[in-house]
Amino acid sequence: MTDVSLLEISVGTDPSGTVVALSGESDMTTTGQLSEVLAAQLTGGSRHLIVDLSDLRFADSASIRILLVAHRALRAKGGGLELVNPHPNVARTLTLLGLDKMLRVR
Amino acid sequence: MTPVLDQQFDVTTLSPLRGRVLAAARTAGLPGSRAVDVMLALHELAANAVRHGAGSGRLRITRTASELCCAVTDAGPAGPDPWLCQPGHGLWLVQQAADRVSVVTGPAGSKVTAVFSLPLPQAGLSARRGAASWESARGVP
Protein backbone atom coordinates (compact mmCIF):
# COMPACT_ATOMS: atom_id res chain seq x y z
CA MET A 1 0.00 0.00 0.00
CA THR A 2 1.37 3.36 -0.95
CA ASP A 3 1.82 5.88 1.88
CA VAL A 4 1.05 8.83 -0.35
CA SER A 5 -2.66 9.44 -0.73
CA LEU A 6 -4.06 10.08 -4.18
CA LEU A 7 -6.29 12.77 -2.73
CA GLU A 8 -5.40 16.12 -1.22
CA ILE A 9 -8.07 18.00 0.70
CA SER A 10 -7.85 21.60 1.84
CA VAL A 11 -10.47 23.52 3.78
CA GLY A 12 -10.74 27.31 3.55
CA THR A 13 -13.27 30.08 3.53
CA ASP A 14 -14.25 32.58 0.89
CA PRO A 15 -17.05 35.19 0.83
CA SER A 16 -19.59 32.51 -0.15
CA GLY A 17 -18.72 30.21 2.78
CA THR A 18 -16.59 27.19 3.65
CA VAL A 19 -14.79 25.72 0.67
CA VAL A 20 -13.49 22.15 0.67
CA ALA A 21 -11.06 21.84 -2.25
CA LEU A 22 -10.25 18.37 -3.56
CA SER A 23 -7.26 17.70 -5.77
CA GLY A 24 -5.79 14.58 -7.33
CA GLU A 25 -7.90 11.43 -7.51
CA SER A 26 -10.70 10.28 -5.25
CA ASP A 27 -11.53 6.58 -5.11
CA MET A 28 -12.35 3.79 -2.67
CA THR A 29 -8.87 4.14 -1.11
CA THR A 30 -9.53 7.76 -0.11
CA THR A 31 -13.20 7.66 1.00
CA GLY A 32 -12.20 7.48 4.71
CA GLN A 33 -10.10 10.63 4.37
CA LEU A 34 -12.93 12.46 2.57
CA SER A 35 -15.71 11.44 4.96
CA GLU A 36 -13.54 12.42 7.97
CA VAL A 37 -13.10 15.96 6.65
CA LEU A 38 -16.78 16.35 5.77
CA ALA A 39 -17.91 14.87 9.12
CA ALA A 40 -15.66 17.37 10.95
CA GLN A 41 -17.38 20.20 9.05
CA LEU A 42 -20.81 18.84 9.96
CA THR A 43 -20.01 18.46 13.66
CA GLY A 44 -18.37 21.89 13.55
CA GLY A 45 -21.77 23.36 12.68
CA SER A 46 -21.45 23.94 8.93
CA ARG A 47 -24.79 24.08 7.14
CA HIS A 48 -23.51 24.89 3.70
CA LEU A 49 -20.38 23.57 2.03
CA ILE A 50 -18.82 24.37 -1.31
CA VAL A 51 -16.74 21.53 -2.73
CA ASP A 52 -14.25 22.83 -5.27
CA LEU A 53 -13.57 20.09 -7.84
CA SER A 54 -11.34 22.10 -10.24
CA ASP A 55 -8.25 20.02 -9.50
CA LEU A 56 -9.89 16.64 -9.02
CA ARG A 57 -9.08 14.51 -12.07
CA PHE A 58 -11.03 11.42 -11.06
CA ALA A 59 -13.87 10.46 -8.73
CA ASP A 60 -15.53 7.05 -8.48
CA SER A 61 -19.00 6.08 -7.27
CA ALA A 62 -17.75 5.41 -3.73
CA SER A 63 -16.42 8.94 -3.32
CA ILE A 64 -19.44 10.58 -4.96
CA ARG A 65 -21.66 8.70 -2.49
CA ILE A 66 -19.68 10.27 0.38
CA LEU A 67 -20.53 13.70 -1.07
CA LEU A 68 -24.18 12.67 -1.42
CA VAL A 69 -24.35 11.51 2.22
CA ALA A 70 -22.86 14.84 3.35
CA HIS A 71 -25.31 16.72 1.14
CA ARG A 72 -28.26 14.90 2.74
CA ALA A 73 -26.96 15.59 6.25
CA LEU A 74 -26.50 19.30 5.43
CA ARG A 75 -29.92 19.48 3.81
CA ALA A 76 -31.46 18.06 6.98
CA LYS A 77 -29.99 21.11 8.76
CA GLY A 78 -31.48 23.44 6.15
CA GLY A 79 -28.32 23.81 4.07
CA GLY A 80 -26.63 21.77 1.39
CA LEU A 81 -23.48 20.88 -0.47
CA GLU A 82 -22.57 22.52 -3.75
CA LEU A 83 -20.10 21.11 -6.25
CA VAL A 84 -18.09 23.69 -8.16
CA ASN A 85 -16.22 23.43 -11.44
CA PRO A 86 -15.96 19.66 -11.92
CA HIS A 87 -13.32 18.29 -14.31
CA PRO A 88 -15.02 16.68 -17.37
CA ASN A 89 -14.15 13.16 -16.07
CA VAL A 90 -15.82 13.89 -12.72
CA ALA A 91 -18.83 15.53 -14.39
CA ARG A 92 -19.18 12.38 -16.49
CA THR A 93 -19.12 10.17 -13.37
CA LEU A 94 -21.96 12.27 -11.90
CA THR A 95 -23.99 11.95 -15.11
CA LEU A 96 -23.42 8.19 -15.47
CA LEU A 97 -24.38 7.65 -11.82
CA GLY A 98 -27.60 9.59 -12.38
CA LEU A 99 -26.67 12.02 -9.60
CA ASP A 100 -26.02 15.17 -11.63
CA LYS A 101 -29.56 16.35 -10.81
CA MET A 102 -29.42 15.35 -7.13
CA LEU A 103 -26.27 17.28 -6.28
CA ARG A 104 -26.05 20.95 -7.05
CA VAL A 105 -23.29 21.54 -9.61
CA ARG A 106 -22.09 24.87 -10.96
CA MET B 1 -6.66 -13.40 -29.43
CA THR B 2 -3.88 -11.18 -28.09
CA PRO B 3 -5.31 -8.89 -25.42
CA VAL B 4 -4.95 -5.13 -25.67
CA LEU B 5 -4.42 -5.16 -21.90
CA ASP B 6 -4.07 -8.00 -19.41
CA GLN B 7 -3.48 -6.85 -15.88
CA GLN B 8 -3.75 -8.20 -12.34
CA PHE B 9 -4.91 -5.65 -9.78
CA ASP B 10 -5.57 -5.13 -6.09
CA VAL B 11 -6.36 -2.14 -3.88
CA THR B 12 -2.84 -0.70 -4.28
CA THR B 13 -2.88 -0.67 -8.10
CA LEU B 14 -6.29 0.82 -8.95
CA SER B 15 -4.88 4.22 -9.92
CA PRO B 16 -2.22 2.95 -12.38
CA LEU B 17 -4.82 0.51 -13.71
CA ARG B 18 -7.06 3.47 -14.62
CA GLY B 19 -4.21 5.08 -16.54
CA ARG B 20 -3.49 1.89 -18.49
CA VAL B 21 -7.15 1.32 -19.32
CA LEU B 22 -7.52 4.89 -20.60
CA ALA B 23 -4.40 4.55 -22.78
CA ALA B 24 -5.54 1.14 -24.12
CA ALA B 25 -9.02 2.45 -24.98
CA ARG B 26 -7.55 5.43 -26.85
CA THR B 27 -5.06 3.23 -28.70
CA ALA B 28 -7.92 0.90 -29.68
CA GLY B 29 -9.51 3.85 -31.49
CA LEU B 30 -12.17 5.12 -29.10
CA PRO B 31 -12.65 8.89 -29.14
CA GLY B 32 -11.59 10.75 -25.96
CA SER B 33 -14.94 10.89 -24.14
CA ARG B 34 -15.73 7.23 -24.87
CA ALA B 35 -12.24 6.19 -23.72
CA VAL B 36 -12.98 8.01 -20.44
CA ASP B 37 -16.25 6.02 -20.14
CA VAL B 38 -14.25 2.77 -20.48
CA MET B 39 -11.85 3.93 -17.75
CA LEU B 40 -14.66 5.00 -15.40
CA ALA B 41 -16.58 1.74 -15.91
CA LEU B 42 -13.60 -0.59 -15.55
CA HIS B 43 -12.47 1.17 -12.40
CA GLU B 44 -15.89 0.45 -10.87
CA LEU B 45 -15.65 -3.23 -11.83
CA ALA B 46 -12.12 -3.50 -10.43
CA ALA B 47 -13.14 -1.66 -7.25
CA ASN B 48 -16.11 -4.03 -6.83
CA ALA B 49 -13.78 -7.02 -7.14
CA VAL B 50 -11.50 -5.51 -4.49
CA ARG B 51 -14.28 -4.52 -2.09
CA HIS B 52 -16.94 -7.18 -2.51
CA GLY B 53 -15.03 -9.98 -4.21
CA ALA B 54 -11.69 -11.63 -3.62
CA GLY B 55 -9.74 -8.43 -2.87
CA SER B 56 -7.89 -8.69 -6.15
CA GLY B 57 -8.66 -9.67 -9.71
CA ARG B 58 -7.69 -9.61 -13.34
CA LEU B 59 -8.72 -7.24 -16.09
CA ARG B 60 -8.47 -8.33 -19.69
CA ILE B 61 -9.32 -6.18 -22.71
CA THR B 62 -9.52 -7.69 -26.17
CA ARG B 63 -10.64 -6.05 -29.38
CA THR B 64 -12.42 -7.19 -32.47
CA ALA B 65 -12.98 -5.13 -35.62
CA SER B 66 -16.07 -3.56 -34.10
CA GLU B 67 -15.84 -3.91 -30.31
CA LEU B 68 -13.69 -3.54 -27.24
CA CYS B 69 -14.44 -6.41 -24.89
CA CYS B 70 -13.44 -5.80 -21.26
CA ALA B 71 -13.63 -8.62 -18.70
CA VAL B 72 -12.98 -8.33 -14.98
CA THR B 73 -12.67 -11.61 -13.11
CA ASP B 74 -12.18 -12.30 -9.43
CA ALA B 75 -12.14 -15.45 -7.33
CA GLY B 76 -14.58 -14.12 -4.72
CA PRO B 77 -17.34 -16.38 -3.45
CA ALA B 78 -20.24 -14.14 -4.50
CA GLY B 79 -21.07 -12.12 -7.56
CA PRO B 80 -21.83 -8.40 -7.47
CA ASP B 81 -24.60 -7.48 -5.02
CA PRO B 82 -27.91 -6.56 -6.67
CA TRP B 83 -27.96 -3.19 -4.90
CA LEU B 84 -24.83 -2.23 -6.86
CA CYS B 85 -27.16 -1.93 -9.89
CA GLN B 86 -29.08 0.98 -8.32
CA PRO B 87 -28.49 4.60 -9.43
CA GLY B 88 -25.45 6.04 -7.64
CA HIS B 89 -23.66 2.70 -7.49
CA GLY B 90 -20.83 1.15 -9.46
CA LEU B 91 -22.69 -1.35 -11.62
CA TRP B 92 -25.31 1.25 -12.48
CA LEU B 93 -22.51 3.41 -13.87
CA VAL B 94 -21.11 0.44 -15.83
CA GLN B 95 -24.52 -0.29 -17.34
CA GLN B 96 -24.95 3.35 -18.37
CA ALA B 97 -21.43 3.60 -19.84
CA ALA B 98 -21.10 0.30 -21.72
CA ASP B 99 -22.99 -0.85 -24.80
CA ARG B 100 -23.50 -4.32 -23.27
CA VAL B 101 -22.79 -5.82 -19.83
CA SER B 102 -22.93 -9.44 -18.73
CA VAL B 103 -22.32 -10.99 -15.32
CA VAL B 104 -21.42 -14.64 -14.80
CA THR B 105 -21.10 -15.99 -11.26
CA GLY B 106 -20.02 -19.49 -10.34
CA PRO B 107 -18.15 -21.45 -7.69
CA ALA B 108 -14.81 -20.26 -9.10
CA GLY B 109 -15.74 -16.58 -8.75
CA SER B 110 -17.34 -14.00 -10.94
CA LYS B 111 -16.72 -12.47 -14.34
CA VAL B 112 -18.24 -9.20 -15.48
CA THR B 113 -17.86 -8.31 -19.15
CA ALA B 114 -18.47 -4.80 -20.47
CA VAL B 115 -18.49 -4.32 -24.24
CA PHE B 116 -17.91 -0.98 -25.96
CA SER B 117 -18.59 -0.48 -29.68
CA LEU B 118 -15.70 0.92 -31.68
CA PRO B 119 -16.24 3.59 -34.32
CA LEU B 120 -16.38 2.18 -37.84
CA PRO B 121 -13.40 3.67 -39.73
CA GLN B 122 -14.06 1.49 -42.83
CA ALA B 123 -17.48 3.04 -43.42
CA GLY B 124 -16.02 6.54 -43.11
CA LEU B 125 -13.13 5.75 -45.46
CA SER B 126 -15.25 4.17 -48.18
CA ALA B 127 -17.72 7.07 -48.02
CA ARG B 128 -14.83 9.50 -48.47
CA ARG B 129 -13.38 7.36 -51.26
CA GLY B 130 -16.79 7.36 -52.94
CA ALA B 131 -16.98 11.13 -52.71
CA ALA B 132 -13.43 11.51 -54.07
CA SER B 133 -14.12 9.27 -57.09
CA TRP B 134 -17.36 11.10 -57.76
CA GLU B 135 -15.40 14.38 -57.71
CA SER B 136 -12.74 13.03 -60.09
CA ALA B 137 -15.35 11.47 -62.37
CA ARG B 138 -17.07 14.82 -62.62
CA GLY B 139 -13.72 16.44 -63.43
CA VAL B 140 -13.23 14.21 -66.50
CA PRO B 141 -14.54 15.94 -69.61
Rg (CA), chain B: 19
Test B96 with A96 for CB contact under 8 angstroms.
yes
d(CA A59, CA A64): 7
Question: When comparing pLDDT for B74 and B127, which is higher?
Answer: B74
Q: Is the pLDDT of residue B43 over 70?
A: yes
**Is there a contact between B93 and A1 if contact means CB atoms under 8 Å apart?**
no
The H-or-E segment that residue B38 falls in is helix B32-52
A25 three-state secondary structure:
strand
Looking at the complex, does the CB of residue A65 fall below 8 Å from at least one CB of chain B? yes
What do you get for the CA distance between the two ends of chain B, in Å? Answer: 50
pLDDT at B131 over 80: no
Question: Is the minimum CB–CB distance between A19 and chain B shorter than 8 Å?
Answer: no
**pLDDT value at residue B122:** 58
Given a contact cutoff of 8 angstroms between Cβ atoms, the answer to whether A26 and A63 are in contact is yes
Backbone angles phi, psi at B69, to 5 degrees: -110, 115
Subunit contact A96:B14, Cβ cutoff 8 A: no
Longest dimension (CA), chain A: 40
Give the C-alpha separation, A43 to B126, whole Å: 64
A47 touches chain B (CB under 8 A): no
**B68–chain A nearest CA distance, Å:** 19
Question: Chain centroid to CA B89: how far?
Answer: 18
The reply to whether ipTM tops 0.90 is: yes
Residue in A closest to B33 by C-alpha: A89
pLDDT at B135 over 80: no
**B70-87 residue pLDDT tens:** 999 998 876 666 666 777
* Residue B85 near chain A (CB below 8 Å): no
